[in-house]
Chains A and B, each alone.
Chain A
Amino acid sequence: SAVISQKPSRDICQRGTSLTIQCQVDSQVTMMFWYRQQPGQSLTLIATANQGSEATYESGFVIDKFPISRPNLTFSTLTVSNMSPEDSSIYLCSGGVANTGELFFGEGSRLTVL
């Protein structure tokens, strides 16, 4: 199994600012993803974090708004740029090994934008 640590665990931010969320995995995973979970909703995939190259974004998510880095196998960051209240959500980092079904999740970063 993998243990995934995210920080910050929560933050309250002002409209128009940006926040970077860090994700650290305690073992090497081949796949890393970023999800968003809005209140009362299920998880929506934002992007696949690719090691050493640009992330692969899902429909409705763009790099300018959600820049992602993954400099090595065990670390990734997600930035929420130019925040608005609609960005208030829980952002979850996840990791797994290819050809297995299991994804491990961090505890999430709860973001509130005022």
Chain B
Amino acid sequence: RKEVEQDPGPFNVPEGATVAFNCTYSNSASQSFFWYRQDCRKEPKLLMSVYSSGNEDGRFTAQLNRASQYISLLIRDSKLSDSATYLCVVTRDTGRRALTFGSGTRLQVQP
């Protein structure tokens, strides 16, 4: 079983739509959680951290359910520029802070 699992998509949505991505992780000792964004042929970049209380950044809302080992990302009012691959990321331990990446969910927002 992969440490971090995501639906690969692609999710094809029209502009203005709301879309949600889910992610599960297998290691209950995982400490920190993030969503990264990777554009085609570019390096990953941090989109937002994910907290147990849930957090929002503009059109983006992230939530964490530790009991279910489940992370979500909600994008409201999708823009063409949101088209990218969204990577669910967890840290395996607090010592080295190495990140474990999911395989990513591809989003294509269409006009």
Contacts and interface: CB of A to CB of B under 8 A. Distances in A.
A107 B97 CA distance: 21
A100 B102 CA distance: 19
Range of interface residues on chain B?
10 to 19
Interface stretch (B10-18, B39-47, B64-72, B75-83): B39-47
Contacts of B22: none
Contacts of A107: 42-43
A33 B98 contact: yes
Given A31-B97, A48-B96, A101-B32, A42 B46 contact: no
A105 B98 contact: no
Contacts of B102: 42
A106 B43 contact: yes
B45 A101 contact: no
B56 to A, nearest CB: 17
B97 A92 contact: no
Nearest to B91: A101
Nearest to A100: B97
B29 interface: no
A102 B35 CA distance: 10
Contact of B101 (A31, A42, A98): A42
B101 to A, nearest CB: 4
Contact of A92 (B43, B46, B96, B103): B43
B47 to A, nearest CB: 10
B100 A108 contact: no
Contact of B44 (A44, A56, A101, A105): A105
A45 interface: yes
A105 B91 contact: no
A103 B99 contact: yes
Contact of A42 (B32, B34, B87, B97): B87
Contacts of B103: 41-42
Given A48-B96, A96-B97, A101-B32, A42 B43 contact: no
Interface of B: 32, 34, 42-46, 49, 87, 91, 96-104
